[in-house]
Amino acid sequence: DINVCILENYPECSNPRLFYIIPYFCGQHPRCREPGEWALERAKLNVNENFLLVGILEELEDVLLLLERFLPHYFKDVLSIYKNPEHRKLGNLTVTVKKTVPSPEAIQILYQRMRYEYEFYYYVKEQFHLLKRKFGLKSHIRKPRPRPEFFIPSPLETEEPIDDEEEDDEKWLEDIYKR
């Protein structure tokens, strides 16, 4: 049971592998392997300086739209391919059997163990939404799951793009390529 695993500190639910997204974005420095503020801030910096786009799976269609816009040679018609019924069949081949929802106590422990990972996720999500705003992308986001406000401080949310015509889209994109 997932609750027993978390609450009784079984290795599968408490090992350092719970800290795995930040090291990927942080880099090869030894401190990138240690959960903490330093690795988190370095990962954020790398996202801003070294990646054209970091998307989030919950908004995959928007990620594909932006990729098609940024790199049309590689991603031409990617959304129509993704929506193709044949592709959809391939994506539904795996399901979780006997899925149980963790208790609130177990969720709180997981959030504490993964607090830097969650903070990084919300940062990337915010940056992704800002990028969508820049390009006026209005998505049809399903109602997001409620955030556990009592576990993690809530960063600025940018769920829907806001009309912002202060900066020309093409100039902004050119600036990215100059880096």
Res 116: pLDDT: 93
pLDDT of 36 over the 60 cut: yes
Q: Is the sign of the CA dihedral 72, 61, 168, 41 positive or negative? A: negative
**Alpha-carbon distance 119 to 154, whole Å?**
9
Report helix, strand or coil for 120. Answer: helix
Per-residue pLDDT reduced to its tens digit, 37-90? 999 999 999 999 999 999 999 999 999 999 999 999 999 999 898 888 877 766
Residue with tokens 């949310």, as numbered in its chain: 157
CA neighbor of 135 nearest in space, from 163, 109, 110: 163
Overall average pLDDT of the 153-179 stretch? 49
pLDDT of 151 over the 70 cut: no
* pLDDT averaged over every residue in the chain: 80
Res 13: pLDDT: 82
Overall average pLDDT of the 106-112 stretch? 91
* Token pair listed for 4: 């027993």
Predicted confidence band of residue 135 (pLDDT cuts 50, 70, 90): confident
Report helix, strand or coil for 86. Answer: helix
Domain ranges of the chain: 2-136
**Alpha-carbon distance 38 to 42, whole Å?**
6
Report helix, strand or coil for 108. Answer: helix
**Class of domain 2-136 (CATH, top level):** alpha beta
**Alpha-carbon distance 99 to 152, whole Å?**
25
Which letter does DSSP use for residue 57 in this model?
G
Q: Centre a 10 Å sphere on the Cβ of residue 68 and count the other Cβ atoms it contains.
A: 16
Overall average pLDDT of the 1-19 stretch? 82
C-alpha dist (Å) from residue 111 to 131, 136, 150, 151, 172: 27, 33, 10, 7, 36
CA neighbor of 6 nearest in space, from 151, 112, 107, 115: 107
Which letter does DSSP use for residue 87 in this model?
H
